[in-house]
Structure 1
Amino acid sequence: MIALLRGTVHERRADAVVLLTPGGVGYQLGCSTTTIAGLPPIGADVELLCHLAVREDAMTLYGFADEAERDLFHLLVGVQAVGPKMALAVLSGGTPDEIAAGIAGGDAKRLQQAPGIGKRLAERIVAELQEKLAGHATLGRDASLPAGLGDPRSPVGEAREGLLGLGLPLAEVDALLAVARGETAAELIADALRRSRK
């Protein structure tokens, strides 16, 4: 699972960046306009957190400036009918803290400003995430989560990325990893999947 990439900004687009890694491989990452705006100029080095979305017909990388943005992305794609591109559109509407505060405050109209987000979907996002984001100040650093969950390089963090890549909802993933047994990411994923089928 690709959880982080460090490389040189090779190309910038309105909704994506191409990072050229030291091994000579260029990775295209879909990003919010907020992350794009914060990137250094072409030729400069940068580090982005990642999420790899795996489908039958495609594998797509998404990049995030920080943990708060990535965690909010995971929450958004856990809402029915919200895909990665739509989640990035929402994230392009401000900082993660601003968006989380808006959702926590029930501000569905703010969400409707994002392309593709209509009234019903905005209200669904608020309904499903309002309670989860009530303490939005801890976004990206929730002390109640299992140890290592916020670190993409830890076994638990890698397992979380892997399970999310398989399409499991964020809340279910966190609940499964809170009780899963294993030393490596692969062992944790296997145990979590066994528990999810019970």
Structure 2
Amino acid sequence: KGIQVPPHAFSLVIGGLCKEGKLNEGYAVFENMIRKGSKPNVAIYTVLIDGYAKSGNVEDAIRLLHRMIDEGFKPDVVTFSVVVNGLCKNGRVEEALDYFQTCQFNGLAINSMFYSSLIDGLGKAGRIDEAERLFEEMSEKGCTRDSYCYNALIDAFTKHGKVDEAMTLFKRMEEEEGCDQTV
């Protein structure tokens, strides 16, 4: 009684419920938190959006993103990244690219997680040239490529019969970037 629960605690509980696949319970905690007078923040919204996106409920994730914006919160690159990842995992690459352009237009620094989701999505959609272009763009934009980015493009190359390109990129991963070769 009388103890104010910090936002971080809500984020942990909601995130834990979402990871266990208990999205309805996570959402109920979120709504109950608001009903009792606590304010959500970007991190809390992002945890819930991520839960929906990872479970394949991309429409609900996008609805929450729009609600977040409507309520005056400014999504960060992590928020957009989880939406983009969900869209790509569900074959909705064009929408993911729209969010990518929105982030670039708004001056958000795109991180390697964001790029790897897009590269993976483009690769799975058979859009290898675009995936490769995005991969090369990363260093031009000052974003360090990690093993996830390399693996996404290597996977795309191998699944589309470009084994030589995959091997070249695999060698480049360690030689140029010093990435762990976990493929």
Superposition TM-score tier, normalisation by shorter sequence = under 0.3
Larger Rg: 2
Q: Which has the higher strand share?
A: 1
Provide TM-score, normalisation by structure 1: 0.25
Provide TM-score, normalisation by structure 2: 0.26
- Structure with more contact order per residue of length (Cα contacts < 8 Å, sep ≥ 6): 1
Q: Which has the higher helix share?
A: 2
